[in-house]
A and B are shown apart, each in its own frame.
Chain A
Amino acid sequence: MTVEKIYVFKRFERFWHWSQALLIIFMMITGFEVHGSYELFGFGKAVSLHTVAAWSLISLWVFAIFWHFTTGEWKQYIPTREKVFAMIGFYSVGIFRGAPHPFRPTTLKKHNPLQRLAYLGVLLFIGPLLWFTGWFYLFFGDWKAWGVDSYLSLEWVAFFHTAGAFMMLAFFIAHVYLTTTGHTPTSHIKAMITGWEEVD
């Protein structure tokens, strides 16, 4: 069993991932404070920081979306049925028996089928839910001017925003754990830092 290294994550992708990670962690910390779960910065400060982080993340996404389309990397998120059950089997049984990883990343297919599904869910569901509700939450004062004040209530906007945040939190926990399931417990993390992934 030889260890091979392949180049999986390009420089921008790594920058995108880590700055997004920091911003999302920070937004969860400030967001749950705004929600009233605890006191840390103080409500006013938490709102300001959450807002600045939100705009920063939007800016980052503008670049990221541009990058994904110009490089064709968006195809990495197209779901596939291939090896889905093999992946489920690996995570629930094989991994405990030292079985080989059923998916071998390449530069063209860097995510395993479950990753594809999970990230697509984040990109198409949790993300938009947070963006959409967050946008209206942020511009609460303009609802009247936009003519949407009779269709929306802050209570429900906040409800779905918070629901999105809880989903993001659950994703975050699972995601951090799953980074340890590579060739070695740190090989995924190293790949995300250096771009080079060790594979079997």
Chain B
Amino acid sequence: MLPIYRTVLSALAVFAMLTASAFAAQAKPEAAPAAPSASKKVSTADHHKFKELQKNFRTGPEVTAACLICHTEAAKQVQHTKHWTWESTDPKTGQKRGKKNIINNYCTNPTSNEKDCMACHAGYGWKDSSFDFKVEKNVDCLVCHDTTGTYRKLPGDAGHPVYKRTEFPKGSGKIVEAVDLRKVAQSIGKPGRTNCGACHFFGGGANGAKHGDLSSSLQHPSRYLDVHMDEKGLNFSCATCHSTSSHQVSGSRYNISAAVKGAPHIRGKADDSPAACQSCHGNKPHPQRMARLNQHTDKIACQTCHIPEFARDDIGTERSWDWSTATTMGPDGKPMVRKDSAGRRAFDSKKGTWVWESYVIPEYRWFNGQSRFQVIGDKIDPTKVVKINEVGGGPNDPESRIWPTNVHRGKQPYDKVNLTLTLQHTGGEDDTALWHNYDWQKAIKAGMKAGGLPYSGEYGFVETEQTWPITHMVAPKDDALRCEQCHSKNGRLKDIQGVYLPSRDGNKVLDTLGWTLALLTLIGVLVHGGIRILTAKKEG
């Protein structure tokens, strides 16, 4: 009730003085906290000194075997994570999701393309469906724990790092040096932005392409781009929010806590959602003088106001990927690559057409944290846009909030008879690989076979749409959305249903009646006054 007293007091002050100046009184924003000192080595162990690591490792699994001598449980832990299984189970429906099972709106699915895709698997040797998920030495410790920034895994090697000097991409003249595994193994530490970013910044095959709120710009971000990761300020790493226990990284997109309630979480308290904003800020984060904003947390996710745009950099993000133009050759009959004016991929005969954008205004959706995903083999209706995933929730669901989302659109191949999205063999040097032979028919046949799916032999292209919540790139408070950006006729939330939004909404009949009443009253008094003036003149 404190805000009421405050307001009453200020109102009394206004009443007493009736001065206008009191109306505008507004406290200045508090000064930003001082930047913490640069991070130092905090580990109690110097891995250079460990005998187990003082040898010239030839392969990744050899390094892992050495790690496991001391860290006996580490591989077992990793093997229970999505980083290893590429699988996630919907706790409600039991549906198997995860990168292994879903069709995404970018490279679609890794099946039959494991050699390429597994460059981002936290393991070694997943080259086809025969991969043994129980072999501990195939867990890749280094990809997350390297601190030298020299550990690289390239497409084509099924998750193994670069063992010998390689030209990559082939024919580009660019050389990738072999990884010095001895040096990397001795220099391990807690995962930093570079480790997470190596995959998560470049998902979808290009910098910033996939998420929209993750790109290499978060390596050295300014305060404007990310108020938490600001290199000169709070300088959070990814794991500051995505706190980790037993190698389980919190904050998965597959099961989001869309509506975290209550006060900030006390350290040591059991915490279901440590990666949520509310974990530190609580769900009433605004000071008393802005108490009205706290009333919004019942309906609106923090991200909606505090991430006014995503991809707030020149790297940008992909808005659409149209596979239907892939295999189109250039005028000379040879494969062609074109870039947009900002130097981002716009067309590639291998992959199709892309559209990019920076400073993207999100699309807003009711979201309760549960998404339904299109998984391999799910039937589709090709007369409609195929929802690669759909966010659940609605205005009457107390677990739902209005979230900003990145809606990525595209066109993907599908089986015209069996009505499923297809799997296609894209990467590789063999005759059936799309990126080698530019033959859809062969590529789909090979992909469907690898996935154990029937294929009719007839393919077409269908429009697809993927909706992902936006949660990174939180802007400083001065850059948060202003009230007017939603509370207006054509504001950000103009398409959001189920909530009465003052200034956007109103009753048209009442408005018409109300203004008519006011107008008739005005006309009435004017006519009355006019007659008075006329009759007064006559008499005068």
- Chain A residues with CB under 8 Å of chain B are 19, 22, 33-37, 39, 42-44, 47-49, 51-52, 54-56, 58-60, 91, 95-98, 140-141, 144, 153-155, 158-159, 162-163, 165-167, 169-170, 173-174, 177-178, 180
B500 within 8 A of A: yes
In angstroms, how far is the closest chain B Cβ from the Cβ of A139? Answer: 8
- Chain B residues with Cβ below 8 Å from A44 are 482-484, 487
B21 within 8 A of A: no
Query: Are A55 and B8 in contact, CB atoms less than 8 angstroms apart?
Result: yes
In whole angstroms, what is the CA distance A159 to B536 when docked? 43
- Chain B residues with Cβ below 8 Å from A167 are 517
Which residues of B in the span 505-538 have a Cβ within 8 Å of any Cβ on A? 505-507, 510-511, 513-515, 517-518, 521-522, 524-525, 528-529, 531-532, 535-536
In angstroms, how far is the closest chain B Cβ from the Cβ of A200? Answer: 16
In whole angstroms, what is the CA distance A155 to B268 when docked? 43
Q: Which of A22, A43, A98, A163 contacts B510 (CB 8 A)?
A: A163
List the A residue with the shortest CB-CB distance to B513.
Answer: A166
Q: Which of A47, A52, A159 contacts B507 (CB 8 A)?
A: A159
- Chain A residues with Cβ below 8 Å from B511 are 37, 162
In angstroms, how far is the closest chain A Cβ from the Cβ of B504? Answer: 6
B50 within 8 A of A: no
In whole angstroms, what is the CA distance A91 to B393 when docked? 60
Query: Are A162 and B531 in contact, CB atoms less than 8 angstroms apart?
Result: no
List the B residue with the shortest CB-CB distance to A142.
Answer: B295
B222 within 8 A of A: no
Query: Are A170 and B7 in contact, CB atoms less than 8 angstroms apart?
Result: no
Rank and list the top 10 A-B pairs by shortest CB-CB distance, nearest first.
A55-B11, A141-B295, A166-B514, A44-B483, A177-B525, A36-B503, A154-B500, A43-B487, A155-B500, A96-B535
Q: Which of B298, B504, B532 contacts A95 (CB 8 A)?
A: B532
In whole angstroms, what is the CA distance A177 to B524 when docked? 10
**Known contacts A169-B517, A178-B525; can you find 14 more A-B pairs with CB under 8 A?**
A34-B502, A34-B503, A36-B488, A36-B503, A36-B505, A43-B484, A44-B482, A52-B23, A55-B11, A56-B14, A155-B505, A158-B505, A166-B515, A169-B514
Query: Are B531 and A96 in contact, CB atoms less than 8 angstroms apart?
Result: yes
Given contacts A43-B487, A55-B8, A96-B535, whether A162 and B15 have CB atoms under 8 Å apart is no
List the A residue with the shortest CB-CB distance to B524.
Answer: A174
Query: Are B500 and A52 in contact, CB atoms less than 8 angstroms apart?
Result: no
Query: Are B483 and A42 in contact, CB atoms less than 8 angstroms apart?
Result: yes
- Chain B residues with Cβ below 8 Å from A96 are 531-532, 535
In whole angstroms, what is the CA distance A32 to B482 when docked? 19
Query: Are A158 and B500 in contact, CB atoms less than 8 angstroms apart?
Result: yes
List the A residue with the shortest CB-CB distance to B534.
Answer: A96
Q: Which of A37, A43, A154 contacts B483 (CB 8 A)?
A: A43
- Chain B residues with Cβ below 8 Å from A47 are 292, 483, 502
In whole angstroms, what is the CA distance A98 to B23 when docked? 47
Query: Are A173 and B532 in contact, CB atoms less than 8 angstroms apart?
Result: no
- Chain B residues with Cβ below 8 Å from A34 are 502-503
- Chain A residues with Cβ below 8 Å from B513 are 166
Task: List 22 A–B pairs whose Cβ atoms lie within 8 Å, in order of A's numbering.
Answer: A19-B15, A35-B503, A35-B506, A36-B488, A36-B503, A42-B483, A43-B484, A43-B502, A47-B502, A52-B7, A56-B15, A59-B11, A98-B539, A141-B298, A154-B500, A155-B500, A159-B510, A162-B507, A162-B514, A165-B514, A166-B510, A173-B525
- Chain A residues with Cβ below 8 Å from B505 are 36, 155, 158
Q: Which of B7, B292, B517, B528 contacts A55 (CB 8 A)?
A: B7
In angstroms, how far is the closest chain B Cβ from the Cβ of A121? Answer: 14
Q: Which of B12, B292, B510, B522 contacts A141 (CB 8 A)?
A: B292
- Chain B residues with Cβ below 8 Å from A37 are 511
List the B residue with the shortest CB-CB distance to A22.
Answer: B18
In whole angstroms, what is the CA distance A155 to B499 when docked? 8
Q: Which of A55, A159, A165, A170 contacts B10 (CB 8 A)?
A: A55
In angstroms, how far is the closest chain A Cβ from the Cβ of B298? Answer: 7
In angstroms, how far is the closest chain B Cβ from the Cβ of A92? Answer: 9
Most buried by A among B298, B515, B521: B521
- Chain B residues with Cβ below 8 Å from A48 are 23
Most buried by B among A39, A56, A58: A56
Given contacts A36-B506, A44-B483, A159-B507, whether A58 and B11 have CB atoms under 8 Å apart is yes
Query: Are B23 and A174 in contact, CB atoms less than 8 angstroms apart?
Result: no
Query: Are B503 and A52 in contact, CB atoms less than 8 angstroms apart?
Result: no
Q: Which of B12, B487, B500, B524 contacts A59 (CB 8 A)?
A: B12
